[in-house]
Amino acid sequence: MRSLVNPLKIWFFALAFCLSTVAVSAADELQTPVDRWLQDKTKRYTPVGAPVEWKFAHPAPPVSLLPPIWQSGFDWLQAVTGNGITFKVYGGSALYGMKGGFRAIRSQVADYGTCYTFAEPRGFELLKTFQLPYVAPENPYQTARIINELMATTLKKEFNARGVYPAHVVPVRPLSLMSKTPVRTPADLRGKKVISFMNTPGAAEAIGFAEVHIPFTEIYTALQQGIVDAVIWVDTGFVPFRIYEQARFYTELKVAPATLETCFNQKSFDRLPVGLKQEVYDFQQKVGISVVKEGEVFAVQAKEILQQNGVEIITLSPEQDKLWRSAFTPVVERWMKSCANVGKDCRALVKEIDQLKEKYAKYSNDELMSLAIDQPVQNIIEFAGTK
């Protein structure tokens, strides 16, 4: 059973639809660097010339976690720049949808907005390397910092080639699996019918499962009717859609993350006064890490909900983890070869990622949040007067 709907489009829409605001106490919120940052609205820029109003566009529906996070960030930026820049937000695909973000931003349909690389079949081989099995860290705080460091040297070229500047690129925690029977090794998945939202071409063939593409709204029914046996997805899909009522086993695969990207129109950014450029630039990593933080808070509560509903949480042993990594090796190797065929060195990028993994492995989540807020990586966009 195979739908004509692009499975990655489904994945991203589901992610945007399912992410829901997590209620935590004010005391808990104040313990994180992200929340302390949002509360400090001390003015740090004196407007030069007429105030700037930008159009920000995205396809996320109002129930998504993303719009309120963005809006909180925009409110902060407006306050600290003395209303030097304000944002008119167009959500819910009002200006463009899941696809077409690069074209829309380049054409100044919006000054700033989402530009999802999942919809681009070519041109983002380096960035998409982060979505391969076990390449990125399991911890999205670490992945966020690593992406920004590499964006400043290599990854930005893929965005610039599309006529835009990269704004904030946010990693989503690696995917896991829910199933009707226990899955501990790749052998347990062979012959099964699986709904998979991994961006890993060839994974089904390498492991031996049948990949099924259906709309996320039909996953529950497909499990209920026995059309499929398992789902590789995210907690922000498993929980809101109550997948745990039909799939009673949760395997912590932690196999591959996805990324959510935003871009600037180059002319819009270039026209900003230098001081305002710097504030807008630094803001990207601050708001990006706040999205990561909310996703991580949700993940903790999601596991509690699964356990409360009788789901067996399967944590892989070191031996089982090795089996999964070995099973996905041909998938990664095929990507490396296809990357080389288009003139890019994804193998060298993986080595850089590994070096940065080691560099940031000892950092706590709070330290990584503080780095994004207080020491954002520079030169992702190069402009006169940059720090």
- 232 and 193, same domain (yes or no): yes
- Whether residue 168 is found in the same domain as residue 57: yes
Query: Could you give the CA distance from residue 82 to residue 43 in angstroms, rounded to a whole number?
Result: 6
287 with 197, same domain? no
b/e code 189-223 from CB counts within 10 Å (16+ = b):
beebebbbbbbbeebbebbebbbbbbebebbbebb
Between CA 82 and CA 156 the distance in angstroms is: 30
Into how many domains does the chain fold? Answer: 2
The verdict on 124 and 142 lying in the same domain is yes
Instruction: Please provide the average confidence, as pLDDT, over all residues in the chain.
Output: 90
Domain match, 161 and 238 both:
no
| Residues 295-338 pLDDT 10s | 899 888 999 999 999 999 999 999 999 999 999 999 999 999 99
Residue 386 lies inside a defined structural domain of this protein: no
Q: What is the CA 72 to chain-centroid distance, rounded? A: 19
Does residue 2 lie in a domain region? no
Whether residue 54 is found in the same domain as residue 117 = yes
Is the pLDDT at 270 greater than 60? The verdict is yes
Domain range for 106 is: 7-175+257-300+345-374
In a shared domain, residues 121 and 214: no
Residue closest to 229 by CA, chosen among 252, 254, 204, 211: 211
Is residue 353 situated within a structural domain?
yes
In a domain, 13, yes or no: yes
CATH number at residue 209: 3.40.190.10
Q: Which pair of structure tokens corresponds to residue 247?
A: 């799939």
Establish if 49 belongs to a structural domain: yes
The CATH number assigned to the domain holding 93 equals: 3.40.190.170
User: For 69-111, how does the pLDDT look when each residue is reduced to its tens digit (9 = 90+)?
Assistant: 999 999 999 999 999 999 999 999 999 998 999 999 999 999 9
Whether 241 and 262 map to the same domain: the answer is no
313 within 8 A of 61, measured Cβ to Cβ: no
Is 273:48 a contact under the CB 8 Å cutoff? yes
Q: What is the pLDDT of residue 387?
A: 66
In a domain, 64, yes or no: yes
Instruction: Identify whether 336 is part of a domain.
Output: no
Does one domain contain both 181 and 167? no
Tell whether 291 and 218 lie within a shared domain: no
Task: Judge if 82 and 203 occupy the same domain.
Answer: no
